């Protein structure tokens, strides 16, 4: 079976998507460890090309290095997509959209540093990064699809469910960034509610402390996402004619989400250890990645052109 692109380009799209995923995780480590101001200037670090031998500076510098590598790879994908696949919407559109998002993301990263990590700026920065990851994955899916992909009958309600789940998971990631940015994770030390020694619940505490409200709203979003992700996994597995690979990604998404929720609960009960918080972010980003891949495959299958077999006219031997 032939694919819509060359093997080299397919490998390039995978490398770019992996690099962006690693960048997301490293960016989370920067937030979790409070290393965002390890390099207070930009693009240099303490006025030098290389960082000083300080942990926060090294972490932030690693983040910037990962951003450079990821940026080069996604630009390479966009360049090749424009040169060779500009008429293929499923490849060119997401690949070029990544460049548009990068134009916004790069100066925004400098503003995040200049604003001394204002939580709302950090959350917006994360949101754009998630969109960059999503479009990088969509370009990879488009590049790996068959050259002649048959249309799959994907119900409209299923596509609506995927859209709702994507919006909810995106909101979950944003609220998670706000929890970290505002230090709300240090306040609610019980799970699932934010209890206290006086027996107060999250609802009563939230009215008196905005940080508690942010933490509790994040947990409410987790509940909503749990329902939507569970429904998405079940319905994907029940599709009568799924696109090859969809069920595998659905299983992976479900496993990652269960792991993420478990890690989220354990990290609260253990007092928010750094390693567990990093694992929590890595699995959350994995859930988003798997969901994007399932959605991209669904869109490709739902709107693909039916393959029409080529027919060769018969030759009249008598006439020749």
Q: Are residues 139 and 156 in the same domain?
A: no
Inside any domain, residue 311: no
Q: Are residues 188 and 219 in the same domain?
A: yes
Q: What is the mean pLDDT of residues 286-296?
A: 95
Q: Would you say residue 115 has pLDDT above 60?
A: yes
Q: Are residues 214 and 285 in the same domain?
A: yes
What mean pLDDT value characterizes the chain?
80
- Residue ending a domain, choose from 144, 165, 196: 144
- Residue ending a domain, choose from 144, 168, 191: 144
Inside any domain, residue 194: yes
Q: Are residues 161 and 133 in the same domain?
A: no
pLDDT of residue 24: 86
pLDDT in tens, 201-242: 444 444 456 666 777 777 788 888 899 999 999 999 998 878
Inside any domain, residue 319: no
Inside any domain, residue 312: no
pLDDT of residue 309: 39
Q: What is the mean pLDDT of residues 59-86?
A: 91
Q: Are residues 109 and 177 in the same domain?
A: no
Q: Are residues 167 and 121 in the same domain?
A: no
pLDDT in tens, 101-110: 988 887 887 7
Confidence of residue 117 (pLDDT cuts 50, 70, 90): low
DSSP string of the chain?
Answer: --BSS-HHHHHHHHHHHHHHHHHHHHHHHHHHHT-TTSS-SSSSBTTBSS--S-HHHHHHHHHHHHHHHHHHHHHHHHHHHHHH-TT-HHHHHHHHHHHHHHHHHHHHHHHHHHTT--HHHHHHHHHHHHHHHHHHHHHHHHHHSBSSPPP----HHHHHHHHHHHHHHHHHHHHHHHHHHTTGGGT--SSSS---TT---HHHHHTT-HHHHHHHHHHHHHHHHHHHHHHHHHHHHH-SSPPTTHHHHHHHHHHHHHHHHHHHHHHHHTT--HHHHHHHHHHHHHHHHHHHHHHHHHHHHHHPPPP----PPPP-TTT-
Give the count of domains, the chain. Answer: 2
Confidence of residue 8 (pLDDT cuts 50, 70, 90): very high
pLDDT of residue 200: 47
Inside any domain, residue 313: no
Inside any domain, residue 57: yes
Q: Are residues 28 and 58 in the same domain?
A: yes
Inside any domain, residue 35: yes
Q: What is the mean pLDDT of residues 46-73?
A: 84
pLDDT of residue 316: 41
Q: Are residues 121 and 248 in the same domain?
A: no
Q: Are residues 211 and 243 in the same domain?
A: yes
Q: Are residues 179 and 110 in the same domain?
A: no
pLDDT of residue 193: 61
Name which residue leads in pLDDT, 6 or 316. Answer: 6
| Residue range of the domain that includes 47 | 7-144
pLDDT in tens, 253-287: 999 999 988 887 787 777 767 788 888 888 989 99
pLDDT in tens, 164-204: 999 999 988 888 777 776 766 666 665 566 654 344 444 44
Q: Would you say residue 36 has pLDDT above 60?
A: yes
- Residue ending a domain, choose from 126, 144, 162: 144
Inside any domain, residue 314: no
Q: Are residues 196 and 59 in the same domain?
A: no
pLDDT of residue 209: 63
Confidence of residue 314 (pLDDT cuts 50, 70, 90): very low
Q: Are residues 160 and 276 in the same domain?
A: yes
């Amino acid at each position: 079976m032939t694919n819509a692109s060359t093997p080299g380009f397919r490998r390039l799209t995978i490398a770019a998507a992996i690099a962006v995923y690693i960048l997301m995780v490293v960016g989370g480590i920067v937030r979790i460890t409070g290393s965002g101001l390890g390099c207070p200037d930009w693009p240099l670090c303490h006025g030098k090309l290389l960082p000083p031998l300080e942990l926060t500076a090294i972490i932030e510098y690693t983040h910037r290095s990962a951003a450079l590598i990821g940026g080069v790879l996604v630009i390479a994908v966009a360049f090749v997509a424009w040169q060779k696949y500009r008429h293929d919407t499923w490849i060119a559109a997401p690949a070029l959209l990544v460049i548009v998002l990068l134009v916004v993301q790069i100066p925004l990263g400098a503003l995040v540093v200049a604003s001394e990590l204002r939580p709302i700026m950090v959350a917006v920065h994360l949101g754009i990064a998630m969109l960059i990851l999503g479009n990088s994955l969509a370009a990879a899916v488009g590049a790996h699809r068959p050259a002649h992909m048959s249309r799959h009958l994907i119900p409209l309600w299923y596509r609506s469910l995927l859209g709702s789940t994507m919006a909810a998971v995106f909101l979950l990631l944003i609220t998670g960034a706000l929890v970290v940015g505002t230090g709300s994770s240090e306040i609610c030390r019980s799970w699932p509610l934010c209890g206290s020694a006086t027996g107060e619940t999250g609802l009563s505490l939230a009215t008196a402390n905005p940080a508690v409200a942010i933490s509790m709203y994040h947990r409410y979003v987790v509940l909503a996402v749990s329902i939507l992700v569970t429904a998405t996994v079940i319905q994907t597995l029940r599709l009568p004619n799924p696109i090859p690979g969809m069920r595998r990604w659905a299983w992976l998404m479900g496993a990652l989400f269960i792991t993420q929720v478990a890690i989220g609960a354990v990290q609260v009960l253990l007092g928010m250890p750094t390693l567990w918080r990093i694992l929590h972010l890595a699995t959350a980003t994995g859930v988003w990645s798997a969901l994007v891949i399932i959605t991209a495959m669904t869109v490709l299958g739902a709107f693909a052109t039916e393959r029409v077999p080529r027919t060769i006219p018969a030759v009249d031997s008598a006439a020749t």
